[in-house]
Amino acid sequence: MIMTSLRERALRYLSRRDYSRAELVRKLTPYGTHEEIEALLDRMSELSLQSDSRMAESWVRCNKDRFGRTRLQHELARRGLARELIEETLADMTDEFERARAVWQSRYSAAPIDAREWARQTRFLLARGFAAEVVRAVLNGKPEYAVDELP
């Protein structure tokens, strides 16, 4: 009886969006034992109903136009994904400067004209998870200063 309830809850969650295994464990913990939850999630993984890699790819695809690499890494780690999976998912993201410039242009219409405006625009891009070198290149309007390979 509990297994059915857990399964129904898990399917209800997964019908809305992809969740990482860690997120599902956290959501299902009040409704079953650790062993029951692990058994259910193992079975769901076998049936491809839950996949951490699919969740990571989906989340990055939806958010890569709004956030920088650092923020994407942080958010995926916060969702309980392994560091290796995060690195694998973000490995082919090389357009950091272009994405940062697009985010900047969606918010600001002109380059900063004074130190106060420079600081405000810098904080905005840094909060979005773009590296300081990329932010500097965007605000200077010089893509040649952008670093292609960032940690």
| pLDDT score recorded for residue 75 | 96
Lowest-pLDDT choice from 19-23, 48-52, 83-87, 145-149 = 145-149
Q: How many domains does the chain have?
A: 3
Q: What does the pLDDT look like over 29-57, one tens digit per residue?
A: 999 899 999 999 999 999 999 999 999 99
* Nearest residue to 72 (alpha-carbon basis) of 89, 97, 84, 92: 89
d(CA 55, CA 19) in angstroms, rounded, equals: 6
* pLDDT category of residue 93 using cuts at 50, 70 and 90: confident
What is the pTM for the complete model shown?
0.82
> Is the domain of 25 the same as that of 42?
yes
Tokens 């309007």, residue located: 141
> Is the domain of 17 the same as that of 28?
yes
d(CA 27, CA 120) in angstroms, rounded, equals: 38
Q: What does the pLDDT look like over 105-151, one tens digit per residue?
A: 999 988 899 999 999 999 999 999 999 999 999 998 876 554 444 44
Report the CATH number at residue 25. 1.10.10
